[in-house]
Chain A
Amino acid sequence: MTIAPVRVEAAVPTEPEPVSRPSKGRRGLVMTLVLAVTAIFWISPLALLVITAVRPLADFIGNGPLSWPDEFTWSNFKDAWGIGNFATTYRNSAFLALMKVPLGVAISAMLGFALAKLRMKFRRTVMFTVFLGLTIPIYITIVPVFIMMRGAGATDSLFGLIGPYLAFGIPFEVLVLQSFFRQIPDEIIEAAKVDGAGDWRIFFTIVLPLSTPALVTVAILDAVATWNEFLFALILLNSDANKTIPVGLLNFQGQFANNNTGLAAGILIAVVPILIAYMLLQRWIVGGLTAGATKG
């Protein structure tokens, strides 16, 4: 999904105050039950995927997709891992995220700082132009980007993806970061200036440390978006050695069309890192996405 731009105020979600209204006990229990059933239904595609991935193909065909497996096996994962070329696509996706995310957050933070705290000419114009990027679909740029990369000899190279990935990440990152920087009291910055600190020193020693929650949230959301990006990777990368997870998964899907259990294992291999990361970091994701909602 394209990450949605919302302003971040704090990365830690505040748990709701329990609303005190009468007759809550029974209602709460019923509501919990209804929500639990809905949640099971909601997550059932993923649950089915897991069950299918750990059963032999014969068992799947014999008993049908909705049955409980008679036997369990890990061999689907072994097959899928090899045929899906996941060792390579994992490495490529990880490389891209590691290159792109720190760089993107760094340059966006710099621009955000200039927009939020420095007296810059044409500030409104720059801001409008950058935020307008949120509305631009990737596909309007693919033909010129392809020509540009071919001219630079950067097609079929992971490095060719970094520029476009950075550019499409900037509007969201700047939007979030500048709104966070804005909340840093001017007095702190003025005081530092009185002490003789220049803009760079203020940026590195005051603004960035005070904005750690926003930086972490932006970095996580940006990493998810980078990991999931599909269209640029599809048009710019040709050889198997350079494919990323989404493109590799699509190829894999074609090859495993008749091997349901292998396909399920492959899809799981592709999504497990992002699922684990989400579970570990969800505090930051949820908090970052919602903190702006109340003030809107």
Chain B
Amino acid sequence: MATVAIARSKPGATRRPAKKGAKRGGKWSPWLFALPALVVYVAFLVYPAVSSLWFSLTDWDGLSATYNFVGLDNYAKLPSDPVVATAVRNNLIWTIVTIIVPTVIGLALAIALNGKVHGKPILRMVFYTPAVLPLVSIASIWGWLYNPQYGAINSFLRLIGLDGLAQPWLGQDSTALWAVMVPAIWLRTGFPMLLYLAALQGIPNELYEAATVDGASRWQQFWHVTMPGLRPAHYIVLALSLIDSFKVFDMIYAMTYGGPGTATQVMGTWMYANVFQYYQAGYGTAIAVVITLVAIAVGIPYVRSQTREAS
């Protein structure tokens, strides 16, 4: 028994001074752990994303075996493409609305749920439910609700006597984009609600008591105690919503396919149409590159903060 203990402690004792330098397994050991994920990540994400940069400089149609290098021609064409103008505008509206509205509703729900409310778990579950559904199924559900003739939304309007408001929500330029954003809001409210709910529980109750003693109104408490306490949550919610909103594709593709006409095109769907429908893979890729660069640029502060925090 004693010999075993000695035999065990001995290598430990000699290894201890070496722990700052090479660990057991050598300096390559970390890379053995890192390699499988890094190889997959580089092969199927980094490499395709970077080679899109190359395709965006060609006139490739997506089918032919050959193509020509055309420099920045595809990018030069972007400003004169009216659909790109529509898509940029729609992306902008989409980003602003699907960040602000879900965040505000989510915060309101979180504050309400944080009070003395019965059935909290089930309420929380209900509000988060849309977030786990496939985007395509959400698109199907809402496309069905928006059906001009048999849809529940128009039926409801007729039921309460607002027949005049019943309209083909997805079928006309003036309402289509807004009609697609409603389900997006429906699905994106759950996440900020959960985050704010968790963050609210981290605000010490003494702060509210102290504020009450000082005679602060509920409104003042909200602005001077609640909101500052939620700052980390605000940051996460805004950063992730921003990153998420540039990825918009599925919902628009499945609900309107960019239509009617091109009224609901966003950069992602317009890229897809150019590549797979109009056989302008080079041009389509240029569209994707532009929006991706914007997405990366706005996402970098968040990425950096996560990297820094971890070090």
Residues of A participating in the B interface, judged by any CB pair closer than 8 Å: 1-2, 4-6, 13-21, 24-25, 27-29, 31-32, 34-36, 38-39, 42-43, 45-46, 48-49, 60-61, 64-66, 107-108, 110-111, 113-116, 118-121, 123-124, 126-145, 148, 163-164, 166-168, 170-171, 174-175, 178-179, 182, 190, 193-196, 198-200, 203, 224, 227-228, 230-231, 234-235, 245-247, 249-250, 253, 260, 263-264, 267, 270-271, 274-275, 278-279, 282, 285-286, 289-296
Contact = CB atoms under 8 A, between A and B. Distances in A.
Interface residues of B, number: 123
Contact of A17 (B137, B188, B198, B201): B201
Nearest to B202: A294
B258 interface: no
Contact of A124 (B187, B202, B231, B307): B307
B125 interface: yes
Contacts of B231: 296
A163 B272 contact: no
A28 B117 CA distance: 5
A141 B41 CA distance: 12
Interface of B: 8, 11-12, 15-16, 19, 23-25, 27, 29-31, 33-34, 36-38, 40-41, 43-49, 51-52, 55, 62, 109, 112-120, 123-137, 140-145, 147, 150-152, 155-156, 159, 186-188, 191, 194-202, 205, 208, 212, 231-233, 235-236, 240, 243-244, 246-247, 249-250, 253-254, 268, 271-272, 275-276, 281, 284-285, 288-289, 291-292, 295-296, 298-300, 302-304, 306-307, 310-311
Interface centre among A24, A118, A123, by most chain B C-beta atoms within 10 angstroms, is A118
A156 to B, nearest CB: 15
A286 B194 contact: yes
26 contacts: A6-B236, A20-B205, A21-B208, A27-B115, A35-B112, A43-B126, A115-B310, A119-B23, A126-B38, A136-B292, A139-B272, A142-B272, A179-B310, A193-B24, A194-B16, A195-B8, A196-B11, A196-B12, A199-B33, A200-B25, A228-B134, A253-B140, A274-B132, A275-B129, A290-B194, A296-B236
Contacts of A164: 44-45
